[in-house]
Chain A
Amino acid sequence: MIKSVIIIILSFILESNLSNFISINTNFFNTFLVFSSLIIIDNILESKESLYIFAIFTGILYDLVFTDRIGYSILTFLIGSIIIKNINKISKLKVNIINYLIILIMYRLISYTILLLIGYLSFNPLKLFHSIYSSIILNLLYIITLKIIFIRGKS
């Protein structure tokens, strides 16, 4: 549990500060780092219920600090954590990196679809595509780094 909290605090600090150093135009945009950390936290927390509760609390904090839209991140993080827990049913591949990639893409699709459904965004597949490819490298690197540091022994 302490490890999970450390990972979340670290992710919040990085997500908040890296945007000042890395331009959105690069392929290393850091957005969604907090969500990415949930993928690793899943390996630390034993039960799925604890992951869901953790995702809800992280979502609340994320909304309070960053989006100012209480509810949006709670919902997306919760759906994201359900995907994380069921990734083995969704993807038959046993390659971790590909599974992480699928989770990240699905998360972005869902967060975009929700905003489309409530009429906040207009349909723009290019923007969705940009959101995926611009941040995927950094997110994957971040997940792998967290895995090496925090759950090296487990896997």
Chain B
Amino acid sequence: MRKKKKERKKIIILVAILLIILLSLVIVIDDERKLTKFEKVIKDGVVTLSNFVSAPFLTIKNKFFSESKDDYQYNLEKQESIGLSNEILKENNELKELLKLNETLSDREYINATVINRNIAYWFNEITINKGFKSGISEGMAVINSKGLIGKIIKTSANTSKVKLLTDEHMEDKISVKIEYNDHFVYGLLSNYKDGEFIINGISNNIEINEGAKVITSGLTDLFPSGILIGYVDEVTFDNFDLAKTLKVKSEIDFDDIYYVTILNRNVDNNND
């Protein structure tokens, strides 16, 4: 009898411990949590060591896999147009002239970075890049490459940053986008990422959107600046009640094969007045 009671107590204690651990994990696993100083120091130290070890292999790889190298060169040489819609650049220039501002909210500074590891631990859909707050990177900045939007910075240390990819299920419901149709734009929200395509729900039935229409960020939320390419409409379907359209958007980015990225630093000058 006593033995049974003891065993029951043990089980209760174990279940309680497990519950406490799970509850604390809910807090720890939050993407918005900032790294502590200790975490930053350890991370930087190990990554520096790891970079040192991998440097010769990466050099060899870059020599033989020219595609990645080209992408990097492209990023460096054509920073001005990486992933940005010409329409938005034009609009931006016109606004600048009109308001005689030296800089607007859409002005950006570009920081190029190399991916040092990808999707470690598998479930988190993140990549780590070799630039941190020392290079001017901070949380929330948009990350792009020559083919469009990749994700946003969620954590930074002195020499590294973590990028949450657009394909992660914690990302896509926050992205406001606009879709090109007949020289106009219609606004929508990326609501899902499934089978390699982003889904945009609730587009009015009256709007004629063709396959191949460009989808770019709207800039309506403070998450991403406007004009960054997300992808192109791949399929237009109707919802169950035939009231609204659902768009499937295909990104040109292979999210599993990213080697070089560019970080957009919003360069807002407060001395405009």
Partner-B contacts on A (CB < 8 A): 12-13, 15-17, 19-21, 23-25, 29, 31-32, 61-62, 64-73, 75, 111-112, 114-115, 117-122, 131, 135
Name A71's contact: one of B21, B42, B118, B162 (CB within 8 Å).
Answer: B21
- Given the complex, which residues of A lie within 8 Å of B155, measured CB to CB? 68
- A117 touching B22, Cβ below 8 Å: yes
Q: B39 to chain A: which residues have CB within 8 Å?
A: 64, 68, 70
Q: Using Cβ atoms and an 8 Å threshold, which residues of chain A touch B120?
A: 15-16, 19, 31, 66-67
Nearest 5 A/B pairs, CB to CB: A24-B256, A17-B54, A66-B120, A19-B118, A64-B42
Is B35 engaged at the interface, CB distance under 8 Å to the other chain? yes
Contact present for B117 and A16 (CB under 8 Å): yes
Question: Which residues of B does A touch, CB under 8 Å?
Answer: 21-22, 24-26, 28-29, 33, 35, 39, 42-43, 46-47, 50, 53-54, 57-58, 61, 115-124, 155, 162, 169-170, 256-257, 259
User: Majority SS of interface residues in chain B?
Assistant: mixed
Nearest chain B CB to A108 CB, angstrom units: 8
Q: How far is the CB of B59 from chain A (nearest CB, A)?
A: 12
Contact at A122–B28, with CB atoms within 8 Å?
A: no
With a CB–CB cut-off of 8 A, which chain A residues contact B42?
61, 64-65
Report yes or no: A72 in contact with B43, Cβ–Cβ below 8 A.
no
Do residues A68 and B122 form an inter-chain contact, with CB atoms below 8 A? no
B residues less than 8 Å from A12 (CB atoms):
46, 50
Q: How far is the CA of A68 from the CA of B35 in the complex (A)?
A: 7
Residue of B nearest to A32 (CB): B122
Q: How far is the CA of A75 from the CA of B19 in the complex (A)?
A: 12
CA distance A70 to B24 in the complex (A): 10
Docked CA distance A23–B127 (Å): 13
Extra pairs beyond A117-B22, A120-B170 (6, CB < 8 Å): A16-B54, A25-B257, A31-B121, A65-B46, A69-B28, A71-B21
